[in-house]
Structure 1
Amino acid sequence: MTRPTPPSERWPTLLAGVADCVEALGGADFEARLLALLREGARIEQCMIFAYDAAEGVDCLLADNARQPRLADRLARLYTEGLFRNDPNYRRLADNALPTLELAPMRAEAMPESYRGSLFAFPDLVDKVALTLREAEGAYTLNLYRGREAGPFDADDLATLDALAPLLASLIRRHYGAPRPAEVRLTPEEEAVLAPLSERERQLCLRLLRGHTLKSAAAELEVALSTAETYRKRAYAKLGIPSKARLIALCRRQ
Structure 2
Amino acid sequence: MSDFLDTELTDWPSLFPGVAACIEAMGSDSFETQLLALLQQAVGIEQCMIFAYADNDEVDCLLAANQNKPRVAGRLARLYAGGLFRQDPNYLHLRRLVDNRENLSTEELTTMQGEAMSPSYRSHLFAFPDLIDKVSLNVAASDGAYYLNLYRDTQRGPFTSTDLACLNGLAPLLASLIRRHYSSTRAGPEQPSAHEAAVLAPLSERERQLCLYLLRGHTLKTAAAELDIALSTTETYRKRAYAKLGVPSKARLVALCRQES
Common fold by TM > 0.5:
yes
Work out the CA distance in 2 between the residues paired with 1:49 and 1:76.
9
Q: Show CA shifts across 1:32-52 (max 9, x none).
A: 110000011111100000000
In the TM superposition, residue 77 of structure 1 has moved relative to its aligned partner by 0.5
Work out the CA distance in 2 between the residues paired with 1:189 and 1:72.
16
Aligned counterpart, 2:178: 172
The alignment partner of 1:169 has SS state of helix
Kindly report which structure 2 residues correspond to 1:126-141, keeping only aligned pairs within 5 A, or say none: 126-141=132-147
Which letter does structure 1 place at the counterpart of 2:156? A
Aligned counterpart, 2:213: 194
Which letter does structure 2 place at the counterpart of 1:175? H
In the TM superposition, residue 26 of structure 1 has moved relative to its aligned partner by 0.8
The alignment partner of 1:171 has SS state of helix
Which structure has the higher relative contact order (CA within 8 Å, separation 6+)?
2
Q: Show CA shifts across 1:211-238 (max 9, x none).
A: xxxxxxxxxxxxxxxxxxxxxxxxx982
Work out the CA distance in 1 between the residues paired with 2:14 and 2:131.
26
Aligned counterpart, 1:238: 254
In the TM superposition, residue 197 of structure 1 has moved relative to its aligned partner by 2.3
Q: Show CA shifts across 1:61-88 (max 9, x none).
A: 0000122111110000000111111001
Aligned counterpart, 1:36: 37
Does the CA-based 8 Å contact 2:141-2:179 persist in structure 1? no
In the TM superposition, residue 135 of structure 1 has moved relative to its aligned partner by 2.4
Work out the CA distance in 2 between the residues paired with 1:9 and 1:132.
22
Structure 2: gaps spanning 5 or more residues = 1-6, 190-205, 219-225, 228-251
Aligned counterpart, 2:198: none
Q: Show CA shifts across 1:122-150 (max 9, x none).
A: 21001000000022441001000001111
Q: Show CA shifts across 1:159-189 (max 9, x none).
A: 0000000000010011001258759xxx899
Aligned counterpart, 2:152: 146
Name the CA shift for 1:86/1:197 in 2 (closer, same or farther; >3 Å). Answer: same
The alignment partner of 1:55 has SS state of coil
Aligned counterpart, 2:197: none
Work out the CA distance in 1 between the residues paired with 2:133 and 2:142.
29
Name the CA shift for 1:118/1:161 in 2 (closer, same or farther; >3 Å). Answer: same
Work out the CA distance in 2 between the residues paired with 1:7 and 1:240.
48
Kindly report which structure 2 residues correspond to 1:10-29, keeping only aligned pairs within 5 A, or say none: 10-29=11-30
Q: Show CA shifts across 1:89-144 (max 9, x none).
A: 11222336998210000000011010011000121001000000022441001000
Which letter does structure 1 place at the counterpart of 2:157? G
Name the CA shift for 1:45/1:181 in 2 (closer, same or farther; >3 Å). Answer: closer
Work out the CA distance in 1 between the residues paired with 2:132 and 2:208.
37
Aligned counterpart, 1:116: 122
Kindly report which structure 2 residues correspond to 1:2-13, keeping only aligned pairs within 5 A, or say none: 8=9, 10-13=11-14
Aligned-pair identity in percent equals: 51
Work out the CA distance in 2 between the residues paired with 1:161 and 1:134.
17
Work out the CA distance in 1 between the residues paired with 2:180 and 2:68.
28
Does the CA-based 8 Å contact 1:197-1:238 persist in structure 2? no
Which letter does structure 1 place at the counterpart of 2:179? R
TM-score (norm 2): 0.68
Name the CA shift for 1:8/1:111 in 2 (closer, same or farther; >3 Å). Answer: same
Work out the CA distance in 1 between the residues paired with 2:181 and 2:211.
24
Q: Does 1:158 align with 2:174?
A: no
Which letter does structure 2 place at the counterpart of 1:144? L
CA RMSD in angstroms, aligned pairs only: 3.4
Does the CA-based 8 Å contact 2:48-2:148 persist in structure 1? yes
